[in-house]
Amino acid sequence: MRAGDFERAWAINDGDLAMLAYPPKHTGPRHLQRIWRGEDLTGKHVLVRCYHGLGDTIQFLRFMRPLCDIARSVTVWCQSELLPLVQRAAGVDRAFALHDGAPDVDFEVDIEIMEVPHAIKARREHVEMRAPYISLPPAVEPTLPHERGLAVGLVWEVGNWDKRRTVPPALLGHLAVPGVTLCSLQRGARTCELAEIGARDVSTPDVTVLGHHLRRLDLLICVDTMVAHLAGALGRDAWVMLHADCDWRWPSAGSHSFWYPSLRLFHQRTPGDWDLVLAEARKALVARSRGVQGVV
């Protein structure tokens, strides 16, 4: 999948699926009776579960449209934070928020959202993004604290579960270049970190408001996290800083991804060393800022 050889990926997955020892299909609790076991989804009422991260859900929402083309209906059971976006996504007939227990909805097949491309045998044209595939509900346009030049959003960590994706805030001060206003989208950022970076706090727990922030910003610079997927799905410019052993969804080298054409990738060359990544990002940011100033 990293290489874009999806036909081979699905063949491998088919083999793995066939080897798993499942109990009989229609026994056990209701929410386990109809779990997808590799059968054709054509003409089925499909329940799509979103049990992974918010970024995973955003990335794989692109497959709801081709799923809808073959299924009788598509219902998405998603994280509550994403419900306003999922409800508006192409191919989604209805959506409701995840909760404990069995879903109170009629369906014939229950599939996890990250299994959908395997189930529909997605081809390269299903994966490649040619236009934004999510839209934002109307909202009061947020005000961002910048006057002239570039407004650049920053997100530098994903939390305690993967410290490899954390950029020390002190290094982000290198991005404070003339003509650029840095805006922190990092939830929970401390006052001392914001001062160290020279950024103004515009963070929000509301994904819809966050999306509107991204529409107002000129650029996002972030680590591999949900905000990168949101920016990519909206077609917004973002630079993603990747650690040396980056996730399968990103190429191991190169600055572009067929998943999100509006993103530019900056790779670590040595595990744990962000200095070169920030130096490259600073150089690119200086050039971009000068270009904007030249236009002004």
For the chain, 296 residues long, give each residue's pLDDT as a single digit of tens: 888 899 999 999 888 887 765 555 555 555 565 788 888 999 999 999 998 999 999 999 999 999 999 999 999 999 999 999 999 999 999 999 998 877 888 899 999 999 999 999 999 888 999 899 999 998 766 667 666 789 999 999 997 778 899 999 999 999 999 999 999 999 999 999 999 999 999 999 999 999 999 999 999 999 999 999 999 999 999 999 999 999 999 999 999 999 999 999 999 999 999 999 999 999 999 999 987 654 43
User: Is residue 115 domain-shared with residue 161, that is, in the same domain?
Assistant: no
Residue 71 belongs to some domain of the structure: yes
Instruction: Give the amino acid at 116.
Output: V
Do 116 and 222 reside in the same domain of the chain? no
Residue 77 lies in a domain: yes
Note whether 291 and 154 are same-domain residues. Answer: yes
Does residue 214 share a domain with residue 110? no
* CATH number where 97 lies: 3.40.50
85 and 165, same domain (yes or no)? no
65/170 same-domain check: no
**Last residue in a domain, options 92, 127, 162:** 127
Domain boundary among 65, 95, 127: 127
Domain that holds residue 113: 6-127
Question: Considering the domain boundaries, does residue 220 fall inside one?
Answer: yes
d(CA 296, CA 290): 10
Q: Structural domain tally of the chain?
A: 2
Q: How far apart are CA 117 and CA 152, in angstroms?
A: 34
C-alpha dihedral, 137 to 138 to 143 to 146, nearest 10°: 70
Q: Does residue 46 form part of some domain?
A: yes
In a domain, residue 1? The reply is no
Residue 210 lies in a domain: yes
Do residues 184 and 107 share a domain?
no
Return the CATH number at 287: 3.40.50.2000
**29 and 101 co-located in one domain:** yes
Domain presence at residue 279:
yes
End residue of a domain, out of 127, 162, 193 = 127
**Do 117 and 154 sit in the same domain of this protein?**
no
Q: What gap in Å lies between CA 173 and CA 197, rounded to an integer?
A: 4
3-state secondary structure the chain: CCCCCHHHHHHHHHHHHHHCCCCCCCCCCHHHHCECCCCCCCCCEEEEECCCCHHHHHHHHHHHHHHHHHCCEEEEEECHHHHHHHCCCCCCCEEEECCCCCCCCCCCEEEEHHHHHHHCCCCHHHHCCCCCCCCCCCCCCCCCCCCCCEEEEEECCCCCCCHHHCCCHHHHHHHCCCCEEEEECCCCCCHHHHHHHCCEECCCCCHHHHHHHHHHCCEEEEECCHHHHHHHHHCCCEEEEECCCCCCCCCCCCCCCCCCCCEEEEECCCCCCCHHHHHHHHHHHHHHHHHHHHHC
157 & 289 share domain: yes
Same domain, 120 and 159: no
For residue 205, tell me if it sits in a domain.
Answer: yes
Based on the domain organization, do 173 and 289 belong to the same domain?
Answer: yes
pTM of the model: 0.92
